[in-house]
A and B are shown apart, each in its own frame.
Chain A
Amino acid sequence: MSYAVRDASRSRVVLALVVISLGISFAAVLASASILNGFESILDQGAINDSGDIIIGPAGTSTALTNIAAITDKLDVMPNVSSWSIRTYALGSIHYKNKYINPLTIRGIDPKKEDETTHLSSELVSGTYLSDDKPHDIILGTELADSLVGQSYDTKRITVGETIDASFLGAPYPESYRVAGIFDAKNFVPNWILYLDKKQLDIAAPFLKDAEISITLKDTSLLEKTKAEIQDAFPDARVLTWKDNAGYVTDIVSVVHFITYTINRLLIVAVFVIICVIIFISVLQKRRQIGIMKSMGASRLFIIAVYMFETLVYSILAYGIGFALFYAIYLSSIAHPISTLIGDFMLVFDITNIEQTSLTLLIASCMGSFVPAYMAARTEIINVLHE
């Protein structure tokens, strides 16, 4: 060990360059793994914000849940259910000045219950939330509000307090509604939805009344178990987790996973090659020293161990630098998240991920050093002592 440390520290400039380059590679590997987690996190959170943890809907061809009171009574006594919100759906169209949007998903909610379940009020970017005593108030998602004025994504929106005309499929005539607020759910599906009081929608368009129940859990680690319990309790209903419901999230995460995984693995290969080259050069430079050590009686195992320990020295120093660099990037991403349509992107500091990545890098480093170390161990004394 002491020989390895001495050997590694002999040329401080080389040591610094090696450790810095390895450290940057380590930081890149850690960051690439965290990028995936970051994407997963915002996509997952966007989906959860929209649907809650679990969705109960009608099974088969039914469009609405029956015996809703019995369902909610049972939900109230389930230990892992935190809150629930019944939703009514309608298809419709809205008209504002010269803009006409059709078809459009309209969601009727109990403002209080929905807020307990999906915290919709916290997503408001302007205006106020729905209230029971203002049945003709509506709130719009940002994308929908944006589309009613000018071009899409030009940041011009309908303003709070203005009135739009809405008509619902099955309703006899359009009605006027006041825009009470605009919300950003950080998810493009709810951001294209118009929300209004469920009681109002149940009257205006009862066709998809009580179409689903959104449920929030106390302990999300019991998601699948709770889903099974609910399904057992309501065999005639269709019970989905937010993951089942938001299939697009899985698709996007799969793509992002493929990209980041590829980059991550390529970086690990790069680390392997860097270590391999460093140790190989080190071995070439020290062929005579290796010959001397062997002539003194050092075994092949000893020579291999020296270079493996040397790699360990490089790796430990590089880990320090790499981790510090990654942590700086992480803190920066927390302080300045990148705002996107699907949410605010930032790196995720996941200890398990860091542990796994570090272990993978350590294995890559060891493997990278083993090949040249083995070559070093096979050095013929007779060939190098007179160099």
Chain B
Amino acid sequence: MENERTLISNYIRESRALNIQDQDIARNLLSAGWEAGILEQAFSQFQERNIIMAIRGLYKEYSISDDLVIAALNGIAELNIYEGEFLAITGQSGSGKSTLLNILGFIDSPSRGEIYLNGIEVSQMTERQKTKYRLQTLSYIFQFFNLLENYTALENITFQLKLNGVGPFKAKKKALEVLDFLGLKDRAHNYPSQLSGGQQQRLAIGRAIAKEVPLLFADEPTAHLDTQNAEQVMLLLREVNARYGKTIILVTHEPSYARMADRIVHLSDGRVTQVEEIKSTQTIDWPQLVQEAVLARGTRPLDGKS
């Protein structure tokens, strides 16, 4: 029974990574002979919404002179980030989206306000605590890739893993698996300067996912890529979110990429102006699907409910 659930969960996760709608995934599973009751349970775990990060009354102000203060974040009253979701933060240049991401990623500190990570208030942590969170809780993907120039693709990932306490042999094995997943295995011994922009960004994503942390922050990861590479990177992020269940917080000014997320947070002048649900509203019409399956098979309902 447990094996069946795992099998179904993996199928749902991978199908979602391919941007297949839940309705179609359920249809496929029913037609393959799975019972609707088991499938409903499996889908429900994907629709639970545990808050991983929460923001309350967040401000970030820069003092230019004694009487001039510029607010990058002008009071984000309330924003919840859910476990496993793909959240896009979008807005005009200067709207505060990167500032928000940097604060959430412990790269910058807020002037005021509260940030909760798994229910713990973390906005006023010491540098040592921030370092610990950066190491154990989150990964960062930057628009300028920010790879270690003196290290090969393989070493960029193993370095991260070693920082996280993984032994050298395990780290190498894992890094090769990740490079294989990224389609960069044949570039394992190339230095970043020998890779294209798209490959470098994929490597940066690889470094981030190898770390096995729940949160992944991506700051305009497609900003310096051509359209084809940008789309590949976005699909990769989508796949990482679905396959590994990582919570991804993406900053982008490209609306089409933002729409690949589950939700979009629109920022303007340092404030949240709109939170747009994209995919979490997916519902599955089980009675209809079961009926379809019955008709297709010409037999009785699979779970006896319909």
Contact = CB atoms under 8 A, between A and B. Distances in A.
Do A and B interact with each other, yes or no? yes
A382 B107 contact: yes
Interface stretch (B29-37, B128-136, B264-272): B128-136
A176 to B, nearest CB: 87
Interface residues of A, number: 21
B146 A385 contact: yes
Contacts of A284: none
Interface in B81-114: 102, 105, 107-108
Interface string B37-49: 0000000000000
Contacts of A298: 131, 135, 163
Given A295-B107, A295-B140, A300-B127, A10 B150 contact: yes
Given A294-B134, A386-B144, A289 B149 contact: yes
Contacts of B127: 300
A288 B148 CA distance: 9
Given A382-B102, A382-B108, A385-B144, A297 B150 contact: no
Contacts of B128: 299-300
A302 to B, nearest CB: 7
Nearest to A384: B146
Nearest to B108: A382
Given A300-B131, A382-B102, A382-B107, A295 B146 contact: yes
Nearest to A298: B163
Contacts of B107: 295, 381-382, 385
Nearest to B128: A299
Contacts of A302: 163
Interface string B113-140: 0000000000000011001101110001
B163 A296 contact: yes
A299 B132 CA distance: 8
Contacts of A169: none
Nearest to A381: B107
A210 to B, nearest CB: 80
Interface in A1-21: 3, 6-7, 10
Given A381-B107, A382-B107, A385-B142, A6 B151 contact: yes
Contacts, number: 56
Interface in A122-158: none
Given A3-B159, A7-B150, A385-B144, A297 B102 contact: no
Contacts of B160: 296-297
Given A302-B163, A382-B107, A6 B150 contact: yes
B164 interface: yes
B146 A297 contact: no
Contacts of B148: 289, 292-293
B210 to A, nearest CB: 11
A3 B162 CA distance: 12
B205 interface: no
A297 B142 contact: no
Contacts of B154: none
Say which size band chain B's interface belongs to: 20 to 34
For A3, A295, A296, A302, which residue has the most chain B Cβ atoms within 10 angstroms?
A296
Contacts of B135: 296-299
Contacts of A295: 105, 107, 134, 140, 142, 146
A300 B149 CA distance: 20
Contacts of A381: 107
Interface string B193-224: 00000000000000100000000000000000
B147 interface: yes
Contacts of B132: 297
Nearest to A291: B146
A11 to B, nearest CB: 10
B109 to A, nearest CB: 9
Contacts of B142: 295, 385
Interface string A17-50: 0000000000000000000000000000000000
B192 to A, nearest CB: 11
Contact of B134 (A296, A300, A386): A296
For A6, A288, A297, A382, which residue has the most chain B Cβ atoms within 10 angstroms?
A297
B268 to A, nearest CB: 22
Contacts of B146: 288, 291-292, 295, 385
A297 B147 contact: no
A292 B203 CA distance: 14
Nearest to A6: B150
A195 to B, nearest CB: 73
Contacts of A6: 150-151
29 contacts: A3-B159, A288-B146, A294-B131, A295-B105, A295-B134, A295-B142, A296-B140, A296-B159, A296-B160, A296-B163, A296-B207, A297-B132, A297-B134, A297-B136, A297-B163, A298-B135, A299-B131, A299-B135, A300-B127, A300-B131, A302-B163, A381-B107, A382-B107, A382-B108, A385-B107, A385-B142, A385-B144, A385-B146, A386-B144
Interface of B: 102, 105, 107-108, 127-128, 131-132, 134-136, 140, 142, 144, 146-151, 159-160, 163-164, 207
Ordered nearest first, which 7 A-B pairs have the shortest CB separation? A297-B135, A297-B134, A292-B146, A381-B107, A382-B108, A299-B131, A6-B150
Interface of A: 3, 6-7, 10, 288-289, 291-300, 302, 381-382, 385-386
Given A10-B150, A296-B134, 6 more contacts: A289-B148, A295-B105, A295-B140, A298-B135, A382-B108, A385-B144
